[in-house]
């Protein structure tokens, strides 16, 4: 595989997982997903009123997503 092809496939993976994460966040916020897909623990949505990022986390923190509130 050429370097350019490697770069392209890397970009595609990143973009796919970016969209997957956006989708995942949407489903969690709408209540369609309530458990961590990795460990099955309940996901906790931490909505922050301060400058701190709001987060979605599970007890084991294998899910640890910062929400982009901008």
Q: Which residues bind Zn ion (CB under 5 A)?
A: 36, 38-39, 58, 60, 62-63
3-state SS class at 28 = helix
Q: Which is nearer to Zn ion, 13 or 39 (CB)?
A: 39
Q: Which is nearer to Zn ion, 16 or 38 (CB)?
A: 38
Q: Which is nearer to Zn ion, 36 or 56 (CB)?
A: 36
Residues in CB range of 60: below 8 A, 6 or more apart: 36, 38, 39, 41
CA distance 16 to 22: 10
In angstroms, give the least distance from the CB of 51 to Zn ion.
26
């Amino acid at each position: 595989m050429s370097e350019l092809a490697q770069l392209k496939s890397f970009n595609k993976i990143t973009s796919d997982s970016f969209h997957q994460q956006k989708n995942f966040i949407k489903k969690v916020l709408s209540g369609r997903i309530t458990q961590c897909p990795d460990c099955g623990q309940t996901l906790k949505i931490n909505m922050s009123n301060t400058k701190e990022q709001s987060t979605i986390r599970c007890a084991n923190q294998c899910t640890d997503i910062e929400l982009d509130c901008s």
